[in-house]
Structure 1
Amino acid sequence: MKLSTKDKIFEQLTTKTVLKQSVFDTTFDAFNELKDVLKEFPDLFNAKLAEKDERLLLQYEDVGNFVAKLKVAGDVLVFFMHTNAFMFDRDHKVWEQPYAREEASRGYTGVINIYNFLYDSFRYSRADDLGYMVARIFINGEKAFFVEGKRQRTMGVGGFGKAKIDPENWRKIVETAILYSLEFDLLVPPYENMNILTMAQLDDEILQSRMRTGKRLGFVFNSDDVKQ
């Protein structure tokens, strides 16, 4: 029997919409679990770091329901959860995994992103400074997950459905992100990009210190690090 438009609306509301809400709830729980893990890092490192240099101390900051920060020396890792659920396009490698092929609804995921900013970008309110994506974590309604990101190969899409996100996996993800960010150096911008300055720009630099700064100019999220 052909469904009426009202029946189709009802079907969508009671199936897909409920599924997306379930994905949101699971991802939100996982994000709060991540926050608990991030709170541990200052306790793990600061006692020894204080003996070396207090400027190296790690600092955790809860910025709201969907954002958290972890300061690591001159870097800040920003973790934020997107509030929507997403479906992968038909060409994505997630559909090569038996777990996703068995049940298409498993392809709906929430996303938690990790960005690397310079601490001075926040310290001096440099609104034009750049942050770079270090990783993004996809989590479905069953807590199955995988990671796209820098040096996160052991948790790539090939492992989707083989493990669930938990505190131990969060620690591994965060540790990898921290180490990559610490090794990811600030480079001098090309001369050609900096050789002309207007008087207005000069005044702005002197008064507000807003020269756009980032660890790379023309940074690309290399596919070799993403498509595992």
Structure 2
Amino acid sequence: METTNYQLILEKLESKASLKQAIYRNTVDVFAIAKKSLSKLASRLYQDYTVKDPSVEVTYKDAHQFEAELKFSGDMLLLSMHSNIFNFEEGHRIYSTSYVKANPSLSYCGVIYIHNFLADSIKYNRLADEGTLIARILINKEKRFIVEGEGQLGFLYEAFSETEINEEVLTHILELAVLDCIETDLQLPPYATVKDITLHQKQTTLAASGYPTGKRLGYMFKSEVQQNNSL
């Protein structure tokens, strides 16, 4: 009997929709563990450092279902989970691995992001400020994972793990992310690039929250950010 379009729909739902729902549940589970790890890290930092130097504030905030924050001094580590499931682009090295060749469905992943923002960007709601993606954690249907990121996070976990992701691994990833935040300083831009200011910029930008800022760009006026983005 010839396969109908409706039967094909049922097959696709089984092969993709159910798969993505399973990966989503895995990602939710891992994100809960990541939040727990981040909260524990905040408590340890508070006990071991902030108690000694109260001027260095360390706080943890469970913002909502898909987001948590660790504030440490002038930095904010933002942990977030995407609600959708993704696959890698065509030609990605992941497809050449024996692990994925044996079962192509293993390449589908949920994503947890680790961003670094300046704490003042959040505090003053500076919408033009830029954050930096420190790493992203990719979790498949077997709860095996890959990490793409900066520094050591760019190569330590570049292939799918042999075991499920766990709290110990997540703590290690988060600690490396915090180290990257601390080691990346805010750079002062050349004086000539910021010396001129219009009255409009003064009224709408400086009076409200200060210079739009990001670690990778120093600080700029909104007009300069927009100009650079258009290049």
Q: TM-score normalized by structure 2?
A: 0.88
In the alignment, the residues of structure 1 paired with residue 209 and residue 90 of structure 2 have an alpha-carbon distance, to the nearest angstrom, of 46
**2:216 partner letter:** R
For residues 86 and 148 of structure 1, what CA distance do their matches in structure 2 show?
A: 14
8 A Cα contact 2:148 2:155, kept in partner: no
In the alignment, what sits opposite 1:204?
204
Q: 1:124-163 alignment to 2 at 5 Å?
A: 124-150=124-150, 151-158=152-159, 160-163=160-163
Structure 2, unpaired ranges of 5+: 219-231
User: In the alignment, which residue of structure 1 is the partner of 2:28?
Assistant: 28
User: Does the 8 Å CA contact 1:69/1:77 hold for their aligned counterparts?
Assistant: yes
Distance 2:56 2:162 in 1: 37
Judging changes above 3 Å, is the alpha-carbon distance between structure 1 residues 118 and 99 closer, same or farther for their aligned structure 2 residues?
same
In the aligned structure 2, how far is the partner of 1:164 from the partner of 1:99? 14
Consecutive unaligned residues in structure 1, runs of 5 or more:
219-228
TM-score by length of 1: 0.89
The answer to whether the 8 Å contact 1:42/1:57 transfers is no
Amino acid at match of 1:157: E
How far, CA to CA, are the matches of 2:193 and 2:19 in structure 1?
A: 48
Runs of 4+ in 1 over 6 A off after TM superposition: none
Q: Which residue number corresponds to residue 224 of structure 2? A: none
- Asked if 1 retains the 8 angstrom alpha-carbon contact of 2:50 and 2:58, the reply is no
Counterpart in 1 of 2:227? Answer: none
Instruction: Please tell me the root mean square deviation across aligned C-alpha atoms, in Å.
Output: 1.7
Aligned to 2:42: 42
User: 1:187, 1:212 → 2: CA distance?
Assistant: 13
The 5 Å alignment of 1:168-187 reads 168-187=168-187
State the match for 1:165 in structure 2.
165
The answer to whether the 8 A contact 1:79-1:115 is kept is yes
Q: Which SS does the other structure have where 1:82 is aligned? A: strand
- Higher RCO (CA-CA < 8 Å; seq separation 6+): 1
* Letter of the structure 1 residue corresponding to residue 32 of structure 2: N
1:38-57 C-alpha deviation (Å, 9 max, x unpaired): 11012212123134321223
